[in-house]
Each structure stands twice: as structure tokens, then as C-alpha cells.
Amino acid sequence: MFGQAMNIFSVGFGLDPVILSWCIMLPRLVDGIVDPMIGHWSDNMHSKWGRRKPFLFVGAILGACFLSALWWASPTWPHAIQFLFLGIVGMCLYLCYGTYTMAWNAIGYELSDDYHERSRIQAVSGLFLAVMVLLNSWVYWLALRPTFGGVVWGMRWIGLIIAAMIVASALVVLMSTRERFTETNRTHVALIPALRATIRNRPFVILLLMKLFEVFGGRLTSGVLFFLSIYYVCRGDQDLGTRIAGIAATLGAIWSFAVLPFVKSVSVWIGKRGALIVGAGFNFAAALASPFLTTPEHPYWSLIPALVITPFLALSALIANAIVPDICDLDELQSGQRREGLFTSVMAFVSKIEISLAVMLVGYLVAWSGVDTGISLRWQEAASGHGGDKFAAGERAVFAFHDTAPASFETFTLRGNARSVELFVGDESPTKGFRSLGKLSMTADGTQSWKLPPATAKYFKIELSGEPSQGTFRVEEIGLFAISGGANLLTTAAGGQLVAAEPPTVVSHRLYWLVMIPGIIFTGLTLAMAILFPLRESSVREIHEKLERIRRSNELAGLPAASSPAPDTKIPAQT
């Protein structure tokens, strides 16, 4: 849910994207640095509750508290207070989240030694993850429902509900799972030598690089894609943009559910390495096709990747997680240590560093593109007579009337210094089907009124004419009046509502290429790493055979299962 913070706080709460990018980046960065320490601590803990469960319990309880507190930031606070609140609460939340996920993943990695059964275990965990991804994708849309009285209160109520779900699910894990390696690692290895051993593990390093390119590229493009979807594909219609995102996530979740029973079969059929290559290959193909599918003329075309490639991406993601226990076995063979916690934490460290950098870059890229996330608020204020001076040439705003019913009007007024405006009316939707009423020129600064041909329509669209090089204009008030006079039809008091606000075309084009080019580059690099991954099924089976001999020998000698490395740790797949 914290992953939605950038979108919700910028567009929904109206906070500065650059400030938000730092507030989201710093907690991930701190948590990523601390992660290996917590993982190493868990690997070497010996308590009556096990190595993982104490961390899982503390992380879940405190994390739920901080998650519910996060959404009490206020748009009316000064930027410095917003930064401090979001940074501190976000940091505490991420430390708890990192602790919980480390313990949860480590328990999952320990459940089985079977090469293909590990794929099935990850499929089961993927089922729950898919449900959460599905629910999370609708959070923003749900918070916008009038029932909550605004997005701010919507997020606060949803945060409380999700916090309760976190605590309940953690209790289920604590009461229903059993740790296998509670007596291992009796010989303590310091953190630095343990870290050095993990980064010398070639399969682990290649898997890390693959995940780095996949996650960093995916976060970078998806972060900018959110703004591209709303301000370009959906022409500023937030409701349509969040609806399409929700539908895409729903389709993705349905596909994820559908492929879960086949994860183990795919592992048997083409192997884990083959599944990585297939998933990365389809992802690369989707990136190549995206420029042709991302178009405002057909906004729902953006759902095609969710229909076509999601099952392959879901399979490869689950298989990648199922590979980590194999890497832990290789490490045990070489070191005599069970270090699921450390491997999980190092992966989390790299993931959080790359996500932090991606989030920070998204904020700067969005700012560089020229997107003003306060565009909707500015037009709403102009309709109420309290506009400002940051309106750019080429901006467009669409208003609906009372109950989205047709209204009749013939007079338009504008107070400000805009050079000219073009007016449109339509009945189809907020994004298409408009016809022009003509272009109106301002003869002087101040208030000017125009008599229009009598018109009746559901939607009224205003475009500030001119070139972006002309700079910004002041628009203090806009008004639309019925034939019989009366109140301004665009004000909320009269039932008017802003349904779309679109930036200039040049801004949308910058966003477009900021999504397409990095998407192609990073998916191509991910595919290259998948092809280079060296650990095959035959080498994993050889590792298991050697480990079984060592474990049986240790059992006969009364030693813990993982207590000493094998005399021969050469792995054919690594040579």
C-alpha cells in the first residue's frame, strides 16, 4: 500500500512530487541498509520461539500501526511538516515491513528441499500476493468514492482496515507454521564475512542483476506511466485512469490465479531457468509493443499487455523466488551455514535501493516533463473565483453539470490575462466527442464576457490557446451562465464538477518517451541476465545429494544438520 503513496499524495492530496520522492526514497534506503543486519541476526538467533517468528510478530504489529498513521498527513500543512511527517512515519513503516518480509520469506524458503515442490510453495504464496495486488490496485479508486467524503478520509479508513488485515494474517502464520532449522548455525560467522560469501555466489549475483533491471526499470516506467495514463491516455480524466488501472490489475490477478496450479508443471517441463527466460522474453516483447498500444484514441488498448503477458510474468516471478532456496543450498554446501535470512535481506537491500532511486527519479522526471499535479485544483479554484497565475498555454479542462445531465448556456466569462481560449461542448464522455464553439480572444486584462450561440450539452471544455513558449497566464475566474442568467454553472454550488484537466501536448509527449525508452532498455537487460543464469536442475540435484550425505553424517555424529561444508563444493553449472 505504501507503493501507492507517490500517486495518492501527489494527485489525490496535491503534495509536491519532488518532496514526495524524497519522503518515499529515504525510508526505503534506510531500511535497505538495515535489512542485512536484521537478516543476519535472524539467521543466528536461538530462541524458544525459533529464528524467524519473533521478527515476524514484531514487524507485523508495529507495521500495522505505522501504516494506519501514514494517511493522516494533511494537504494544508507546510511543506517542511509534510516532509518530516511522511519521512519519519514512512521510515518506521519500512523498517517494520522489512523485518516482517524477511522472516516471512525465510520461513517459506525452509519449507521443502524438493526442487519442484519449492515452485509449488511459491505458487501458493503467489496466490495471496495476487489477492493483495488486486485489492491494492483499487485503493485509490475506492478512496475517491463519495461515501468517504474525499480522498483524504477515504485513505484513512482504508488504512485502518488494511492494518487489521496485516495483524490477522501474521497471527495465522505464527500459529500454523513450523521452522525446520532452529538448531543450525551454532558456529557464529560475523556479518561482513557472511555478506562477502553471498556476493561471491555467482548464481545469486546474476539473479540479483536480473531482479535489479526488472524492478528498477519496472518501477521507473510504471511511476511515470501513472501520470502518462491520466494526463495523456485518459486526457486528464482521473476516474477513467484509475478505472483502467484497476481493470488491468484485476485481469492480471485473474491470470495470476489461473497460472498458479501450473507453476510446478512448468518447473518440471522447462525448468526454472527456462521459465525465467520465457517470462523476461515476453516482457521485452510487451515493451516493444507499448508505443503502439499507448494512445488516447483507444485508452483501453493499454489493457492488452495485462491480457497477454501477465501469465508469463507471474510464472517467472514465482520461479525466481523458488530459485532462492536452491541458492541457499549451494551456500550451505560451501559454508555449512543456513542463511535464508541473509540472502533474503540482501535481495531486499538491492530491491529497496533500486526502488528508492526509481521513486526519486520519477519525481524529478515528472517535474522535468512539466506536469503540474496541481492542475485540477487550479481549475477548480478558477471556477469558484479564486484562481491563480500558473495556467499554461495548451491546458484543457472539462466540466460536467449538475448530476452529469445536459445544461443550456449562452454566456462565458473569464477574468485574467489569457490571450485566447477555445470552447468545446460534448455529450459522449469527458475525453472525446467534443465540437468547437469557437476561439475567443482577450482584448485586455481583466474580466471579459462573450455571448455564445445557445448550446445544450453534458460536458463543457476550455482550452487555453497559444504556444508553451508564451509562458504562464493568470486565470482568476471562469464562468458559464444559462440563457436565463442565474448562478455560474461551473461552481460546485450549482452542481458543476471538474471531470478532467489535461496539460499541454508537449508535456504529454515528454511523458510518453520517458516511459517507452527506459521500458525497452531495462526489459532487454533483464532478458540478457535470464539467459546468463547458470544454475540448472542437474546441478541443483547434485547439490542436494551432497547435502544429504553431510546431513546424515552430522545426524549420526549428533551435530546440527548444517554444521560444516562439503570437502568438494565445485558446481558444474558455475564453471
Mean pLDDT of 364-391: 86
- 414-442 pLDDT tens trace: 998 888 899 999 999 888 899 999 999 88
Would you say residue 23 has pLDDT above 60? yes
Would you say residue 29 has pLDDT above 80? no
Residue 428 DSSP class: S
Lowest-confidence range among 117-121, 153-157, 392-396? Answer: 117-121
Residue (of 417, 402, 355) closest to 97 by Cα position: 355
Phi, psi of 515 (to 5 degrees): -95, -45
CA distances from 507 to 371, 423, 502 (A): 6, 21, 10
What topology does CATH give the domain 2-371+509-556?
A: Growth Hormone; Chain: A; (1.20.1250)
Would you say residue 16 has pLDDT above 50? yes
Lowest-confidence range among 134-148, 158-172, 493-507? Answer: 134-148
Q: Annotate 381-394 with DSSP letters as a single string.
A: HHHTT--EEEEETT
- Could you state, in order of their start, the residue ranges of all structural domains in the chain? 2-371+509-556, 378-502
**Which are the contacts of 412, defined by CB distance < 8 A and separation ≥ 6?**
423, 440, 449, 450, 452, 478, 479, 480, 481
Mean pLDDT of 479-501: 87
Share of the chain above pLDDT 70, in %: 91
Mean pLDDT of 154-158: 85
Would you say residue 539 has pLDDT above 80? yes
Mean pLDDT of 303-316: 77
Greatest mean pLDDT among 148-157, 360-369, 453-462, 556-565 lies in 453-462
**Which are the contacts of 441, defined by CB distance < 8 A and separation ≥ 6?**
419, 420
Q: In this predicted model, which residue has the larger pLDDT, 24 or 476? A: 476
pLDDT at 505: 87
- 41-75 pLDDT tens trace: 877 777 777 778 888 888 999 989 998 888 887 77
- For the beta sheet containing 407-416, the strands, ordered from the edge strand earlier in sequence to the opposite edge, are 388-392, 472-481, 407-416, 446-457
Establish whether domains 2-371+509-556 and 378-502 are of one fold.
Answer: no
pLDDT at 567: 45
Mean pLDDT of 22-39: 78
Question: Cell 552430522 belongs to which residue?
Answer: 554
Q: In this predicted model, which residue has the larger pLDDT, 222 or 163? A: 163
Q: How many CB atoms lie within 10 A of CB 359?
A: 23
Mean pLDDT of 503-511: 89
- 441-476 pLDDT tens trace: 887 778 888 998 888 999 999 999 877 666 788 899
Whether 440 contacts 412, CB under 8 Å: yes
Q: In this predicted model, which residue has the larger pLDDT, 553 or 566? A: 553
Q: How many CB atoms lie within 10 A of CB 481?
A: 19
Residue (of 511, 218, 519, 231) closest to 365 by Cα position: 511
Would you say residue 18 has pLDDT above 80? no
pLDDT at 370: 84
Would you say residue 558 has pLDDT above 90? no
pLDDT at 332: 82
pLDDT at 335: 79
Mean pLDDT of 535-560: 79
Q: How confident is the model at residue 12 (pLDDT cuts 50, 70, 90)?
A: low
Q: Work out the mean pLDDT of the chain and round it to a whole number.
A: 82
Is this structure's pTM higher than 0.75?
no
Cα gap 508→404, rounded to integer Å: 27
CA distances from 132 to 1, 127, 137, 188, 261 (A): 9, 9, 9, 37, 18
Q: In this predicted model, which residue has the larger pLDDT, 354 or 260? A: 354
Q: How confident is the model at residue 575 (pLDDT cuts 50, 70, 90)?
A: very low
CB neighbour burial string for 495-528, b if at least 16 within 10 angstroms, e if fewer: bbbbbbbbbbeebbebbbebbbebbbebbbbbbe
Whether 503 contacts 296, CB under 8 Å: no
What topology does CATH give the domain 378-502?
A: Jelly Rolls (2.60.120)
Cα gap 399→489, rounded to integer Å: 9
Lowest-confidence range among 44-48, 322-326, 463-467, 490-494? Answer: 44-48
Q: In this predicted model, which residue has the larger pLDDT, 38 or 396? A: 396
pLDDT at 435: 92
